[in-house]
Every structure is written in structure tokens, then in C-alpha cells.
Amino acid sequence: MSPPPLRIALSAEEDKTLQELSQASTAPRRTRERAEALRLNHRGWPTQQIAEYLDWRVATVRQAIYRWRDQGLMGLWDQPRSGRPPRLSTEDWAHLHHCLDEEEQTYTSAQLVEELETRGVQLSRRQLRRLLKKNDIAGNGLANPIADNKTPSNGLESKLN
């Protein structure tokens, strides 16, 4: 037995707000998709069709509708997750980007750890390297000169000249 149809009615202002939210690049992806699901439901799409369109489960579509009904616009955003808060603030990341991108000096992980310690952030070099790799920050160009200075093997050097 399938669950009863679930429909919402949006005012013109709510529909416009949800449309803007679903197209906002600054909003989280899940929030944008929930806004789109609500707009589709308002236009008469059944939850099964919305689920297929968004590649969701039907229960997820229904949950988004219930969240809208119970919490309004704020129900579209995820609640803060449990767990340890991040150690680096956005200001700390901005400082790291400044050090790596804008300064002439090249930094080692130990020097970056020292830079962060002046800001009151305690991280190991290993943890800092992990975070930089996870956030796709490669460094400030020290790897290329090392690769360029390697000596060709198997007598290729004489063939290149």
C-alpha cells in the first residue's frame, strides 16, 4: 500500500523565494535541491516522479516536504552536525592562502605550522599537510624546480643535446 499523496501549496512570494534559493550558488547543494523538490511538488509532480528526477528516495522527498511544512524556510537547511569543530577558521585559511599564493617566500610545512601557532592554532605538520591536500592546495611551486633538475637516465642526455 502506497502512502497518501503529499501536496503543498506555495504563495507566489514563497515560490519566488524557493526559485531564487534553488538557483543560488552560495546555498548548499542539498538546500537548493530541497527547494527544487518543493517547487516541483507545488506544480503537481508526485513524490515518486520528483524522487526519480532528483535521484532521491521517495522518503527523502517526503521528508523535505514535512520539513517545509513544520519549519518553513529554515527547514531546508541542515542542522549543525555533531563532532569536533574544525580547527582552522576561515581567517586561518585566508592567511594560509596569503602565505602560499602572494608571498615571495616558499614555505615548508614546519614554517606554516609556526605561522599558525602565531595565530593560536596548534596543528602538527602531518595534520596540516593532510588538510592542505584535502582542500587541494598544492603549495607554492617548489615541486616543479625539483622535477626539472633531475638528470635523464640511460644516456638520454646526449641524445637530447
Question: Are 20 and 69 part of one and the same domain?
Answer: yes
Q: Is the pLDDT of residue 98 over 60?
A: yes
* Contact partners, residue 151, CB within 8 Å, separation at least 6: 157
Burial class (CB in 10 A: 0-12, 13-18, 19+), 144: exposed
The CA-atom distances, in angstroms, between 147 and each of 2, 22, 140, 143 are 62, 45, 14, 6
Residue 3 falls inside a structural domain = no
Count the neighbouring beta carbons within 10 Å of the beta carbon of residue 146: 8
**Confidence band (pLDDT; 50, 70, 90) for 149?**
low
**What's the pTM value of the predicted model, to 2 decimals?**
0.54
Q: What is the pLDDT of residue 33?
A: 94
Question: Are 68 and 97 part of one and the same domain?
Answer: no
Residue 83 falls inside a structural domain = no
Q: Smallest Cα–Cα separation from 29: which of 9, 56, 10?
A: 56
Q: Tens digit of pLDDT for each residue in 3-12? A: 778 899 999 9
Residue 159 falls inside a structural domain = no
Residue 147 falls inside a structural domain = no
Cα–Cα dist 75/136, whole Å = 32
Domain boundary among 26, 52, 76: 76
Residue 81 falls inside a structural domain = no
- As given in the structure block, the three cell numbers for residue 38 are 518543493
> Across the chain, what does the average pLDDT equal?
84
Residue 69 falls inside a structural domain = yes
Into how many domains does the chain fold? 2
Count the neighbouring beta carbons within 10 Å of the beta carbon of residue 9: 8
Residue 20 falls inside a structural domain = yes
What's the rounded mean pLDDT across residues 105-118?
88
Domain range for residue 63? Answer: 12-76
